[in-house]
């Protein structure tokens, strides 16, 4: 091992930057008293081949340590050691023995001997620590690719897990590519055939798979190691830079298929956890800067449920977040971001919510991010709930009210009819005061966190025993209903009811005004066996079982047809430049109950009907929802064109192919009423005149 003094270098840009003749390295380490840059021969080298001591007189500018190293090229493995006071009472946790990642590192190297435990205990951990890799972002050929910039009004989101999408043996993907970026590429035709326009990918920032229950680990990815490096565990390639190129190959392939890429990003905490957690990066560089500390500075404020909270509105952390987002857009061509526990980004260094959080306005006003989708999970784990009130003008929000009210209404709960009307029409009770477009509401019934759609109609309670916490983890209130039997059943009537409920949920999600989001596998009734918190389950329980595509082909087809209807692909109108969602949000809604013009808003009501006349288009829509357990006769409007008739395009009670039909094949409906069977909904369409 060679020790030397490095050349001066520059404080900007942060990270490792290739320049003519070598590379410039710069890292923020406030209160650090000494710093070393470590260079390793390869990923598994137990010790660095060169240690460069950074001279505080020449290699430090303010709080930035920097050095130029001649001869460095892409692929060089590196890390830091930073010395300083270990004084937890002052929020300082320096440890000169610990090897630290570069916060701006673009790739991560994992040695075969990697140990999270070694990073928690005293002593040198060079042989077992994660390291960073020097990257040349300009070396990739994008072949003219660019983010797609599709409007939210034309967007249908499919939330999915990159690993779980193709890891199951039934995926048909070669074993070497299962669970990888490359495996997802092979399944893009499935996504196109389904009709979704965007994928929202669970965290792809490099995360610590070891940060989970003993013997299980972390599957979802909400334990970030880095805000710049793509997760290398989803790469099928062996070279250290393989994850970077394979990730970009995936983005480019999805764009060619017309599918946008939205990343689920975690800027609220890191995998370093609480006081007894490992020292991997931020804790060893500037603990009191990167994290919100408790009044007792030896402890971390925990608004995330993960042990620590990133100090997002501290200037250095604000810059880190903004630089990260810019990188993913400019260098990785990402179309949008869903911010996990986004309400944490509104908290100040003392944890108090701010009326005008600087980091959110930084993101909102940045020109590089101007045409990027920004979606907030507008709550956090400490009780802050900001749905309908999230700061900013361009942010869209996961609408938790939509999820809960639709679940409650279809389950048959009392007092839900009025709320259901709001959810169908873009949640004006939540968003009208902000005068924003209806697409601000991201409408979903299921997501990665909680029951799958199949399990929502198959289990009354959670079944998380496999997680090793005696079923204590996960939400207890799921607003689920098992349709009469807990778990799987061979009883045909129960299965018919479950199928019907699944179709009801899907129809309301995809036809409601707003931006719909579907969970991976819901279109084929993917099950997790009642586990509503499978964050630690990298096993078949979490993977997409491709046998279900054939087993539940009726549900799969139903979703395809629903998406086609929403995207205005089979409607009797001459102009096809607007989606059904765009048409509906511009028109007044006339509410009914089982009798026309007599909506029932009572607490005992389980019915809802609505007419929408699409002025400017010769089309009339009438939807009837019967969440009651007996059939009901609904009056239907009289058409102003005697020679026209209503056509039944959706009836979730009917067997395929009559459950959903395009306009051309839909059957005409005669008479003045329509029978809507128990726990089902019917959608009628008709050509209409221009009179209201």
Q: What is the pLDDT of residue 613?
A: 80
Does the pLDDT of residue 692 top 60, yes or no?
no
Looking at residue 581, its pLDDT comes to 66
What does the pLDDT read at residue 316? 97
The DSSP-derived string for 313-378 is TSHHHHHHHHHHHHHHHHTT---EEEETTGGGGGB-TTS-B-SS-HHHHHHHH-GGGTTSEEEE--
pLDDT for 576 equals 46
In tens, the pLDDT along 87-108 reads 999 999 999 999 999 999 999 9
The confidence band for 580, taking pLDDT boundaries of 50, 70 and 90, is: low
Residue 691's pLDDT band, with cuts at 50, 70 and 90, is very low
Backbone angles phi, psi at 23, to 5 degrees: -145, 145
Q: With a cut of 70, say whether residue 577 has pLDDT above it.
A: no
Q: What average pLDDT does the structure give for the chain?
A: 94
pLDDT digits (tens, 9 = 90+) for 197-249: 999 999 999 999 999 999 999 999 999 999 999 999 999 998 889 999 999 99
**DSSP H or E run through 502:** helix 492-511
What residues contact residue 251 under an 8 Å CB cut-off, 6+ apart? 145, 261, 332, 333, 334
In 301-340, which positions are buried (b, 16+ CB within 10 angstroms) versus exposed (e)?
bbbbebbbbbbbbbebbbebbbbbbbbbbebbbbbbbbbb
Its pTM stands at 0.96
Segment 498-512 shows an average pLDDT of 97
All residues at 6 or more sequence positions from 375 whose CB lies less than 8 Å from its CB, including other chains:
200, 262, 336, 337, 338, 339, 395, 396, 397, 398, 442
Please name the residues in contact with 470: beta carbons below 8 A apart, sequence gap of 6 or more. none
Closest residue by Cα to residue 408 from 334, 316, 508, 527: 508
- Model pLDDT, residue 584: 66
At residue 158, the pLDDT reads 98
What residues act catalytically?
340, 377
* In the predicted structure, residue 587 carries a pLDDT above the cut 80: no
pLDDT band at 619 (very low <50, low <70, confident <90, very high): confident
CA nearest 191: which of 261, 121, 241, 130?
261
Determine the pLDDT at residue 579. Answer: 64
pLDDT band at 76; cut points 50, 70, 90: very high
Using CA atoms of 143, 147, 150, 155 in order, give the dihedral in degrees to the nearest 10. Answer: 100
Whether residue 569 contacts residue 577, with contact meaning beta carbons closer than 8 Å, is answered with no
How much of the chain is helix, strand and coil, in % rounded to 5?
25, 20, 50
Q: For 631-678, what is each residue's pLDDT tens digit?
A: 999 999 998 877 789 999 999 999 999 999 988 889 999 899 999 999
Residue 207 near residue 536, CB atoms below 8 Å: no
pLDDT of the residue at 432: 76
What domains are there in the chain, each with its CATH number? 2-139 (2.60.40.10), 156-196+399-567 (3.20.20.80), 587-686 (2.60.40.1180)
Tell whether the model's pLDDT for residue 585 goes beyond 70: no
Strand ranges in 135-245 using DSSP code E only, listed in sequence order: 157-160, 198-201
Query: What pLDDT was estimated at residue 162?
Result: 98
Residue 10: C-alpha distances to residues 16, 58, 182, 286 (Å) = 11, 10, 37, 20
Residue 4 above 80 pLDDT? no
Residues in the chain: 692
At residue 392, the pLDDT reads 87
pLDDT above 60 (res 575): no
CB crowding 654-677: b at 16 or more within 10 Å, else e: beeeebbbebeebeebeeeebebb
pLDDT above 80 for 6:
no
Cβ-Cβ contacts under 8 Å for 654 (sequence gap 6 or more): none
Predicted confidence at residue 238, as pLDDT, reads 85
Give the mean pLDDT of 120-126: 96
Rounded to 5°, angle at Cα 674 from 567 and 669: 65
Q: Which helix (H) or strand (E) holds 648?
A: strand 646-651
Sheet strands (E) in 41-187: 50-54, 60-61, 64-70, 77-83, 86-87, 92-93, 107-109, 131-133, 157-160
What is the percent of the chain where pLDDT is above 90? 88
**What local confidence, expressed as pLDDT, does residue 324 receive?**
98
CB 388 within 8 A of CB 605: no
Please give the average per-residue pLDDT across 529-545, as a whole number.
Answer: 97
**CA pair distance 103, 100, nearest whole angstrom:** 9
Give the mean pLDDT of 280-289. 98
pLDDT confidence of 688, banded at 50, 70, 90? confident
Per DSSP bridges, beta strands 22-28 and 64-70 are: antiparallel
What pLDDT shows up at residue 573? 60
d(CA 533, CA 449): 6
What's the token pair of residue 343?
Answer: 């309400």
Compare 212 and 437 and report the one with higher pLDDT: 212
What is the average pLDDT across 162-185?
98
């Amino acid at each position: 091992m060679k020790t030397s003094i490095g050349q001066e270098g520059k404080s900007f840009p942060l990270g490792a930057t290739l320049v003519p003749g070598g590379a410039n390295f710069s890292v923020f380490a406030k209160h650090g008293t000494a710093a070393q840059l470590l260079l390793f021969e390869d990923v598994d080298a137990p010790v660095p081949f060169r240690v460069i001591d950074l001279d505080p007189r020449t290699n430090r500018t303010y709080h930035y340590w920097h050095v130029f190293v001649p001869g460095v090229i892409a692929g060089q493995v590196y890390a830091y050691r930073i010395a300083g006071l270990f004084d937890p009472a002052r929020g300082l946790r320096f440890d000169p023995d610990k090897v630290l990642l570069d916060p701006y590192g673009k790739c991560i190297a994992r040695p075969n001997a990697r140990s999270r435990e070694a990073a928690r205990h005293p002593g040198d951990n060079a042989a077992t620590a994660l390291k960073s890799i020097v990257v040349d972002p300009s070396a990739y050929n994008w072949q003219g690719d660019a983010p797609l910039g599709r409007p939210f009004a034309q967007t249908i989101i499919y939330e999915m897990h990159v690993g779980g999408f193709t890891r199951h043996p039934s995926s048909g993907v070669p074993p070497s590519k299962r669970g990888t970026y490359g495996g997802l590429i092979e399944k893009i035709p499935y996504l196109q055939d389904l009709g979704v326009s965007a994928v929202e990918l669970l965290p792809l920032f490099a995360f610590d798979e070891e940060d989970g229950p003993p013997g299980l680990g972390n599957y979802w990815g909400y334990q970030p190691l880095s805000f710049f490096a793509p997760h290398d565990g989803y790469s099928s390639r062996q070279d250290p830079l393989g994850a970077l190129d394979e990730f970009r190959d995936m983005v480019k392939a999805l764009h060619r298929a017309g599918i946008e890429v939205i990343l689920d990003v975690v800027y609220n905490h890191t995998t370093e956890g609480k006081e007894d957690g490992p020292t991997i990066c931020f804790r060893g560089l500037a603990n009191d800067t990167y994290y919100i500390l408790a009044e007792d500075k030896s402890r971390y404020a925990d608004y995330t449920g993960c042990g620590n909270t990133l100090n997002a509105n501290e200037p250095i952390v604000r810059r880190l977040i903004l630089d990260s987002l810019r990188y993913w857009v400019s260098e990785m061509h990402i179309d949008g971001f869903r911010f996990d526990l986004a309400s944490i980004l509104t908290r100040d260094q003392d944890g108090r919510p701010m009326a005008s959080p600087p980091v959110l306005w930084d993101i909102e006003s940045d020109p590089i991010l101007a045409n990027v989708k920004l979606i907030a999970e507008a709550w956090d784990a400490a009780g802050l709930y900001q749905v309908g009130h999230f700061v900013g003008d361009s942010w869209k929000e996961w609408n938790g009210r939509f999820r809960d009210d639709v679940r409650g209404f279809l389950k048959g709960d009392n007092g839900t009819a009025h709320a259901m009307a709001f959810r169908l029409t873009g949640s004006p009770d939540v968003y009208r005061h902000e005068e924003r477009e209806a697409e601000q509401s991201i409408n979903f019934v299921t997501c990665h966190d909680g029951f799958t759609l199949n399990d929502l109609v198959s289990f009354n309670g959670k079944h998380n025993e496999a997680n090793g916490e005696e079923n204590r983890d996960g939400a207890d209130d799921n607003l689920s209903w098992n349709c009469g039997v807990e778990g799987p059943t061979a009883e045909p009537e129960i299965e018919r009811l479950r199928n019907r409920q699944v179709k009801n949920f899907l129809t309301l999600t995809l036809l409601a005004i707003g931006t719909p989001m579907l969970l991976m596998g819901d279109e084929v009734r993917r099950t997790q066996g009642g586990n509503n918190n499978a964050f630690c389950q990298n096993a078949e329980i979490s993977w997409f079982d491709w046998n279900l595509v054939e087993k539940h082909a009726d549900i799969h087809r139903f979703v395809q047809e629903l998406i086609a209807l929403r995207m205005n692909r089979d409607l009797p109108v001459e102009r096809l430049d607007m989606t059904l969602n765009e048409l509906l949000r511009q028109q007044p809604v006339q509410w009914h109950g089982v009798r026309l013009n007599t909506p029932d808003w009572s607490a005992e009501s389980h019915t809802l009907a609505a007419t929408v006349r699409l002025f400017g288009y010769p089309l009339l829509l009438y939807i009837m929802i019967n969440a009651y357990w007996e059939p009901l006769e609904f009056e239907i409007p009289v058409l102003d064109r005697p020679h026209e008739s209503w056509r039944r395009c959706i009836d979730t009670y009917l067997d395929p192919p009559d459950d959903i039909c395009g306009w051309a094949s839909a059957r005409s409906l005669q008479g003045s009423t329509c029978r809507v069977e128990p726990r089902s909904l019917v959608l009628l369409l008709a050509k209409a005149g221009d009179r209201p």
